[in-house]
Amino acid sequence: MSIYEELLERFGKEKVSINETILEHHSKDESYFDPVLPDIVFFPASKEDVQSLLTYANDKRIPVVPFGVGSSLEGHAIPIHKGISVDFSQMNHIIELRPEDLIVKAQPGITRLQLNQELNKHGLFFPVDPGADATIGGMTATNASGTQAVRYGVMKDQILDLEVVLADGRILHTGSLAKKSSSGYHLNSLFAGSEGTLGLFTEITLKLHGIPESIMAARACFSSVKQCVEAAVSILRAGIPIARMELVDARSIAQVNHYSDTAFKETPSLFLEFHGNEAGNHADAEFVQALCEEQDCQEFIFEKDSLKRAQLWKARHDLSYAFRHSDPKKKTIGTDVCVPISKLPEMVEYARARIDYHELDGAVLGHIGDGNFHTLTLFNPEIKEQVTKTHLLNEEIVEFALSLGGSCTGEHGVGIGKMKYQQQEHGESLSLMTSIKNMLDPNYILNPGKLLPMETNK
């Protein structure tokens, strides 16, 4: 029997597909990497399905690649060594919502908007917000973050427990329902960000937050990106618990206005948000305005009504799509380096200078409250010189970030594209990471060719 026939027999035709459209859908993500068709797509409905599949695949040495909604920006979901794509769309339920504990236990296939829709009914929200409506499983696998990480932390900070199926079919729990623990080794953060290379998640237990009594947003317009960054650094140093602080440069604002039908002033800007009680937010916002004015802020505009505030953040979240869909002939490629905040001004200036030097069409934007920002470059994949320059630009930016003590990726993950920086960033630790991988996945079936620069055929 072929593998397909064996899986059909084991799971039934509802859960196993070789339909060409379906294979194609699972061949790519939002990255610029070439698509690769999986051999088979598997749709598990339970942890037992995942366990059974992994036991089978491990025995047969078949690559297994988890798939959420395919919004990865680094090729995580592309089955570059073929094999089985595991699509979690059937496992998208809330298992248990405990508002009284600020805890939710969900299946990995639920998306962040689906989750928040349910949470909002209880006055709660989940703060991690990458631009895309990604699945919670995918966000956990890449340790995603987004605009609210500066206040609420990144994905791994929200995780109380993961149910993980290992390559050999063992099922384990990496945590508990306790908010704090000093018991045993902490495994939540080992699996969060492991990009499907150590195990597949079947349940994810997350910390939740109460929707703040008062939310205020503001836009601060400056003459230069450098002023934006200097203002951001002084806001952080003042200890203001800012909930969002996004850099959006003039090029990005132009794109936003075009795509989102907004009329924001086309200057380098900070998009800001304050969460708390009304009196506290007002005091914080006044202080922030003063700090921005010290950097010659031209305008400081409060977005008071909730509709305008929603419009502001929708425009920000749609920005990457606004670039990506601006010209069907062009692709976008981005960086997401993260550096110590005092290094941000020189880092951002360097990035801007290199974009200009290479005469590329690029924007600088991002979560500068965390020292994490993006360059987004538009290029025509048919013009070889543009492709070469874009890749060179990305390498220059990563090298510079690493030289400042930073990380090659603040939130998108390693995937395919950043494996080449792992040795430089992690040094001796990389051998420990490799040992952990070998220990947990000795047959190298779990998302091979991602995260760790290992030989594929051991």
List binders of its own copies among 12-51 (CB under 8 A): none
Q: Are 93 and 106 contacting, i.e. CB atoms less than 8 angstroms apart?
A: yes
In which residue are the tokens 């953060």 written?
189
Q: Which residues pair with 66 in a beta bridge?
A: 86
Quick check: 58 binds its own copies (CB under 8 A)?
A: no
**Edge-to-edge strands of the sheet including 16-17?**
16-17, 40-42, 84-87, 64-67
In the complex, minimum distance from the CB of residue 17 to its own copies, in angstroms, rounded to a whole number: 30
- CA separation for the pair 247, 272 (Å, rounded): 9
In the complex, minimum distance from the CB of residue 243 to its own copies, in angstroms, rounded to a whole number: 11
List binders of its own copies among 389-448 (CB under 8 A): 401, 404-414, 418, 421-422, 425-433, 435-436, 439-440
Of the candidates 31, 132, 155, the one whose C-alpha atom is nearest the C-alpha of residue 410 is 155
In which residue are the tokens 């069907």 written?
328
Task: Please give the radius of gyration of the chain, using alpha carbons only, rounded to the nearest integer.
Answer: 22
Q: Are 216 and 287 contacting, i.e. CB atoms less than 8 angstroms apart?
A: no
List binders of its own copies among 181-220 (CB under 8 A): 181-190, 192-194, 198, 209-213
CB nearer to its own copies: pick between 142 and 377: 142
CB nearer to its own copies: pick between 282 and 358: 282
Identify which range of 110-118, 270-278, 324-332, 381-389 contacts its own copies by CB under 8 A: 270-278
Q: Are 61 and 443 contacting, i.e. CB atoms less than 8 angstroms apart?
A: yes
Instruction: Return the SS3 of 121.
Output: coil
Selected binder of its own copies within 17, 58, 147, 281 (CB under 8 A): 281
Task: Give the number of residues in contact with its own copies, rule: CB under 8 A.
Answer: 100
Selected binder of its own copies within 3, 280, 301, 318 (CB under 8 A): 280
Q: What is the DSSP string of 426-448?
A: HTTHHHHHHHHHHHH-TT--BST
In the complex, minimum distance from the CB of residue 385 to its own copies, in angstroms, rounded to a whole number: 29
219-258 mask for its own copies (x: CB under 8 A)?
Answer: --------------x--xxxx-x-----------------
CB nearer to its own copies: pick between 239 and 328: 239
Q: Are 348 and 364 contacting, i.e. CB atoms less than 8 angstroms apart?
A: yes
Identify which range of 28-36, 53-61, 142-150, 308-316 contacts its own copies by CB under 8 A: 142-150
Structure tokens given for 132: 């895309």
Identify which range of 263-271, 324-332, 333-341, 388-396 contacts its own copies by CB under 8 A: 333-341
Identify which range of 15-23, 321-329, 363-371, 441-449 contacts its own copies by CB under 8 A: 363-371
- CA separation for the pair 136, 128 (Å, rounded): 9
In the complex, minimum distance from the CB of residue 31 to its own copies, in angstroms, rounded to a whole number: 14
